């Protein structure tokens, strides 16, 4: 993990309120792994004082890209960074996704801007000869992640809350279609979505008929509000079977069976 001065070489709006920023920084490009994130300072002033975490969306030879949805003050400042401006970027941070070499068919499921780290993972997995299906959920067709941001070899499945594109309903309702096919599952998005992924994949992990089926690894990338992003402030903890763990340092990627969901036994 290092502090980088990264120049904004492109800033393109790809969906309402959502921008992709290309950041030039060979140091970040060299160190970054899919599933990790960067902590970006919001402009040159001290308000807001805290940096904002953003997943690594693409890894290029000369830098990385982040996909930023402007939901509040900090993300709006970052999303509106002008071309050639410099961003103060800490990273890469956190533990990446793990690609087991024996896994050949990967199911990925993303909600909202949770698709960002899965795109980096899909690119890496295709490069290793894996087959990838990416399921993405959004509120309406306008907020569906554009297919042209994905490598063409990725099978893309869409769900919208209002049915304006793809399956009408939760993106997690698409997952059972791919459970028998895939060797591993990866997800990133809002906590209720991740909890649903953990619940749906449970029979696949532990066997519908006892121990007849082999365990299927499921990795979930958690999102929490962050202070330091370096493991010091304990502002980002989640409950796991090993006790509280820090999303910024021990995650953001956790095996699904280590997480304990509030008020549930998922």
Ligand X SMILES: Cc1cc2nc3c(=O)[nH]c(=O)nc-3n(C[C@H](O)[C@H](O)[C@H](O)COP(=O)(O)OP(=O)(O)OC[C@H]3O[C@@H](n4cnc5c(N)ncnc54)[C@H](O)[C@@H]3O)c2cc1C
Residues of the shown chain interacting with ligand X in the complex, contacts defined by CB under 6 A: 37, 48, 52-55, 66-69, 71-76, 113, 116, 223-226, 252
Stretch (H or E) spanning 237: strand 237-240
Choices 127-135, 136-144, 179-187, 222-230 (CB under 6 A): range interacting with ligand FES: 222-230
Neighbours of 210 (CB within 10 A): 7
Q: Which of 134, 125, 155 is nearest to 33 (CA)?
A: 125
Which of the choices ligand X, ligand FES, none does residue 145 contact, using the CB cut-off of 5 to 8 A by kind?
none
Residue 144 makes contact with ligand FES by CB under 6 A: no
Give least dist CB 187 to ligand FES, A. 21
Which residue lies nearer to ligand FES by CB, 109 or 248? 248
| Binder of ligand FES out of 98, 231, 258, 261 (CB under 6 A) | 231
CB-side neighbour CA atoms (13 Å) of 135: 27
Residue 48 makes contact with ligand FES by CB under 6 A: no
Residue 49 makes contact with ligand FES by CB under 6 A: no
For the chain, give me the number of helices (H) and strands (E)? Answer: 5, 16
Which of the choices ligand FES, ligand X, none does residue 232 contact, using the CB cut-off of 5 to 8 A by kind?
ligand FES
Give least dist CB 57 to ligand X, A. 6
What is the secondary structure of 57-90 as a DSSP string? -EEETTEEEEEEE--SHHHHHHHTPPTT-EEEEE
Neighbours of 174 (CB within 10 A): 20
Determine the Cα–Cα distance for residues 113 and 261; give it in Å rounded to an integer: 22
Which of the choices ligand X, ligand FES, none does residue 227 contact, using the CB cut-off of 5 to 8 A by kind?
ligand FES
Binding region for ligand FES (CB under 6 A): 226-229, 231-236, 246, 248
């Amino acid at each position: 993990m290092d502090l980088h001065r990264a120049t904004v070489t492109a800033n393109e709006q790809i969906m309402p309120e959502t921008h992709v920023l290309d950041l030039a920084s060979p140091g970040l490009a060299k160190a970054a792994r899919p599933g990790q994130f960067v902590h970006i300072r919001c402009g040159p002033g001290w308000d807001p004082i805290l940096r904002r975490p953003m997943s690594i969306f693409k890894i290029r030879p000369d830098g990385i890209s982040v996909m930023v949805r402007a939901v509040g003050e900090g993300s709006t400042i970052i999303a509106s960074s002008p071309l050639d401006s410099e961003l103060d970027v800490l990273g890469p941070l956190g533990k990446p996704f793990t690609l087991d070499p024996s896994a050949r068919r990967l199911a990925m499921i993303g909600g909202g801007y949770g698709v960002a780290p899965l795109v980096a993972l899909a690119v890496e997995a295709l490069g290793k000869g894996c087959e990838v299906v990416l399921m993405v959920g959004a509120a309406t067709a306008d907020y569906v992640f554009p297919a042209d941001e994905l490598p063409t070899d990725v099978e893309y499945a869409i769900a919208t809350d209002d049915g304006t594109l793809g399956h009408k309903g939760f993106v997690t309702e698409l997952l059972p279609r791919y459970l028998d096919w895939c060797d591993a599952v990866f997800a990133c998005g809002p906590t209720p979505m991740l909890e649903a992924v953990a619940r749906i994949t449970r029979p696949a992990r532990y066997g519908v008929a006892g121990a007849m089926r082999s365990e299927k690894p499921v990795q979930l990338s958690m999102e929490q509000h962050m202070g330091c992003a370096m493991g010091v402030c304990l502002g980002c903890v989640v409950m796991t079977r090993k006790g509280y763990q820090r999303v910024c340092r021990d995650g953001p990627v956790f095996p699904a069976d280590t997480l304990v969901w509030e008020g549930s036994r998922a």
